[in-house]
Structure formats: structure tokens, C-alpha cells
Structure 1
Amino acid sequence: MIKFFRKIRQSLLLEGNTAKYLKYAVGEILLVVIGILIALQINNWNEVRKELINETKILKTLNAEFTQNSITLDSILKQLNRMEQSLSFVFQNIKPDPNLDYTPEQLDSLLSISFSDPYWTRSEYTLRNLESSGKLSTLKSEDLKSKLYEWSLVATDISDKDSDATQGFNILLNYYRENGSLRNLDEGGWVITEGRSSLDYDHFKFFTDIVFENIIDDCLVYTRQRIRRYNKARIIIDQVIALTQTADNKDD
């Protein structure tokens, strides 16, 4: 192609037709410029296509991660709500003369729920990877970036509150350890299968102890705070899942 154009230029020069040669030269330059522009446009299209493919992969990975977090959160919330009900029942029945129509076995089963302290293990690998690689800023959706930032704040708050709650429940566990029978409280689980203690104990006495009331008060506060934060996390998770929906996600 280059040889072809060179021959045309040489032919025009030999003819001595300067005007015609100049017109041809301008036309050739225009063809070169157009070719360069087309090449740049094709390159831009390819880059946009690559960015779209990469963003789609990121969205699918985020969607899968937050969907899994949603499943584990539902499970933990059920346990926390069950524990909150147990703590509330215990708290309401701490009186000078409690009237608890329960067998020791039934009471132990109720008390064992009160210090289960379920912990939400959530996945944040994809989000942390996006933050460390700088790819988070490349996401096109400002709403999604805003929600992911909000999620980071809520997740940090949850971790702090979970840590406080664990300390509170360790105090309750130590109270049971020092004043009652852990063997009997553990009986309903799958770890202790050797049966109930043959030693004397009285878990009914807890309900007239001000120390026990104060510990249960703390645990109830921690549990309700965690439930509120987890429910807030649930809202953000649902929003992130909606914002990361792709055609593949919708087909599934």
C-alpha cells in the first residue's frame, strides 16, 4: 500500500502538476489521520469492553459475597433473637420471691441459651481486595461505592460491639461457673454427654441475687444493641445485593 502511494506521488511529480500533487498529498494526509482516529477508536472500544468485563466480574463476586453474608446473618439473627428472649425472661423473673414453675432440667435448658453468644463470621475478602488494589474507585456506580463505604463503617461498629458483648457474656459464664453447675447447663449440647451432675446445686437462687441481675442486665443490653446493628447491616446487605445485580445474577 505504501509503495502504491509512493508511485502515485512520483508520477505526479514527473508530470510537474504541483496543484494536483498538493491535493493528493493533502488527501493522503487526511487518509492517514482518519486511519489513526479509527485505530484509536477501536482501541478505546477495546479498553471500554475490558473495563466492562472486569466490572461485571467484580459485581458478580461482590454479589456472591454479600449473598453469602446475608445467609449467615439470617442464621445468627435467629440465634440472637432466641437468646434475647431467654435473657428477657430471666430478667423479668428476678424478684424477691420468684415463682418459677420449672423443673431444674427445664431451668437449666433456659439458662444455657442465655450465654450462647453466637458470633457472626462474615466474608469481607472481596471488598478488602478492592480497597487494597485501588479497584474500588473504578466502580461506575456512585451509589454502590457509597453503600460499600457505609458497610465498612457498620462492619467495624459490629466488630466493636461483638467484642464488648463477648466480655459481658464471659462474665455471665464465670458467674455460672462459680455459683452453679456448668455440667448441667452444658447437658443439652452435643459436647457433654455424660449426664447431669450428682452434686448439690441450686440455679433457682440466681433469681434473688442482685449480682446476677446486674450481669443479665448487661448481657441483655449487649444483645439488643447487636440485634439493632445486625438489622442495620441486613438493610445495607440487601442494598448492595440489589446494586450488584448483573444479567447473569438475574438469570440465576
Structure 2
Amino acid sequence: MIKFFRKIRQNLLLEGKTGKYLKYAIGEIILVVIGFLIALSINNWNEERKELASESKVLKTLNAEFYQNSITLDSVLLELNRMEQSLSFVFLNIQPNPNLDFSPKQLDSILRNSFSDPYWTRSEYTLRNLESSGKLSTLTSEELKSKLYEWSLVATDITDKDSDATKGFNNLLNFYRENGSLRNLDEGGWIISEGRSSLEYDHFKFFTDIVFENIIDDCLVYTRQRILRYKKAKIIIDQVIALTQTEK
């Protein structure tokens, strides 16, 4: 094709048709430029198509990750709410003369529910990869980028509060260990199946103990703080799921 155009130009020069030669040369340049622009446009279109396909894959992965986080969070919230109710019941019954119409076994069941420490194990693998690779900033949706940033802040806050709550839980566990019977508290679980302790103990005395009241107070505060933050995380998770929803 190039040889063909070159031959035409040579013939025009030999024939002395300089004006036509110039017009032809200009036309040829225009055609080359147009061809270059078309090729560039096609290349850009292909790159955009690849980027869109890549982002679609990222969105699907984020959607799956946050959907799984939503499921595990719902489960932990159920446990935390049960724990909060048990702690509140114990807290309200700490009095100079508590009226506890329970058998020792029933009371142990209530106390056992008060020192659970459900921990939310969440996945952030995809988000961390996006941050480390710099691809987070290339996402099309500004709203999604904002929500993912908000999620990172909430997740960090949750980690801090979980750490505080674990300290409170350990304080309560140590109190039971030093002043009561862990064997009897563990009886309702599936690990300890050897039955109740034959040693003397009195868990009713806890309800007139100021140290016990202070520990329960700490645990109740930490638990309610965790519930509030987990609920906030749940809202953001649902928003991220909606923003990353793609067509099947």
C-alpha cells in the first residue's frame, strides 16, 4: 500500500504536476493522521473495556466479602445482645438484700451467659489489596470510595473496643476463678461433662459484693459500646453491598 502511494507521488512529480502533488501529499498526511486517531481511539476503547472488566471483578469480590462479613456480624450481634441482657439482669440484682429466687444451677446458668466474649472475625483481604496496590483510588464511584474509607475508620474503632471488652471479660473471668466455681459455670457447656463440683461454693454472695458490681459495670459498658459500633458497621456494610452490586 505504501509503495502504491509512493508510485503515485513519483508519477505526479515526473509529470510536473506539483500542485496536484502537494494536494495529494496533504491528503495522504490527513489520511495517516485519521488512521492514527482511529487506531488510538480503538486502543483507548480496549483499555477502557479492560479497566471496566477489572473494576467489575473487584466490585464482585468486594460484594462477596462484605456479604460474608454481614452474615458473621449478625451472628455475633445475637450473642452480644444475649450477653448484654444477662449482664443487665445481674447488674440490676446487685443489692444489699438481693431477692434471687433461683436454684444454684439456675443462677450458674445466668452467670455463665454474662462472661461470654463473642469476637467478630471479619475479612478485609480485598480492601487491603486495593489499598496496597493503589487501585482503590481508581474506582469509579466516589460514594463507594467514601464508604470504604468510613468502613476502615469504624473497623479500627471496633478493634480498639474489642480489646477493651476482652480485658473486662478477663477481669470477670478471674473474679469467678478466684471467688467461685468455674466447674459449675462451665457445666452447661459441651466441654465440661463431668458434672458439678462437690466442693462448697456460694455464687449468691456475688450480688452483695462491690468489686463484683464494678466488674459487671465495666463489662456492661464495654458490651453496649461494642453493640453500638457493630450496628454502625452493619449499616456501612449494607451500603457497601448495595454500591458493589453488579449485574449477574
TM-score (norm 1): 0.97
Q: Does 1:132 align with 2:132?
A: yes
Identity of paired residues, percent?
A: 84
Indicate the SS of the match to 1:101: coil
Matched residue type, 2:197:
S
Q: Which residue of 1 aligns with 2:219?
A: 219
How many angstroms does 1:247 deviate by? 0.7
Counterpart residue identity of residue 45, structure 1 = W
Measure the CA separation in 2 of the matches of 1:188 and 1:108: 9
Query: Which one-letter code corresponds to 1:167 in the other structure?
Result: K
- Rounded Cα–Cα distance in structure 2 between residues aligned with 1:127 and 1:190: 37
Q: How does 1:27-106 map to 2 (within 5 A)?
A: 27-106=27-106
| Counterparts of residues 204-243 of structure 1 (less than 5 Å) | 204-243=204-243
Paired letter, 2:9: R
Q: Which amino acid aligns with 1:121?
A: T
- 1:188-233 deviation digits (Å, cap 9, x = unpaired): 1111111111111111111111110110000000000000000000
In structure 2, what is the equivalent of residue 112 of structure 1?
112
Partners of 1:246 and 1:58 in 2: how far apart? 10
User: Letter of the aligned partner of 1:87 in structure 2?
Assistant: L
Following the alignment from structure 2 to structure 1, what is the Cα–Cα distance between the partners of residues 6 and 219? 89
Q: How much does 1:11 deviate? A: 1.4
2: CA distance between counterparts of 1:19 and 1:93?
107
Where do residues 156-175 of structure 1 align in structure 2 (5 Å cutoff)? 156-175=156-175
Bigger mean CA offset, 188-197 vs 38-47: 188-197
Matched, 1:150 2:150: yes
Equivalent residues in 2 for 1:184-199, closer than 5 Å: 184-199=184-199
| Structure 1: unaligned runs, 5 residues or longer | none
CA RMSD of aligned residues (A): 0.6
Separation of aligned partners in 1, 2:166 and 2:116: 10
CA deviations 1:90-146 (Å, max 9, x no partner) are 000011111111111111111101001100000011111111110101101111111
| Alpha-carbon distance between aligned partners in 1 of 2:139 and 2:231, rounded to the nearest angstrom | 26
AA aligned to 1:152 is: S
2-side partners of 1:188 and 1:54: how far apart? Answer: 51
Residues 170-185 of structure 1: pairs in structure 2 closer than 5 A: 170-185=170-185
- How many pairs align? 248
SS at 1:197 equivalent? coil
- Once the 2 structures are TM-superposed, how far is the Cα of residue 180 of structure 1 from its aligned partner? 0.4
| Deviation for aligned residue 1:15 | 1.2
**Alignment partner of 1:140: what SS?**
coil
Deviation at 1:84, TM superposition (A): 0.2
Specify the alignment match of 2:123 in structure 1: 123
Normalised TM-score (structure 2): 0.99
Runs of 5+ consecutive residues of structure 2 not aligned to the other structure: none
Q: CA deviation at 1:77?
A: 0.2
Segment drifting more, 5-14 vs 114-123? 5-14
**Aligned AA for 1:181?**
S
Q: Aligned AA for 1:5?
A: F
**Bigger CA drift: 227-236 or 97-106?**
97-106
In structure 1, how many angstroms separate the alpha carbons of the residues matched to 2:46 and 2:188?
A: 62
Separation in structure 1 between the aligned mates of residue 125 and residue 196 of structure 2, nearest angstrom? 43
Instruction: Determine the structure 2 residue equivalent to 1:11.
Output: 11
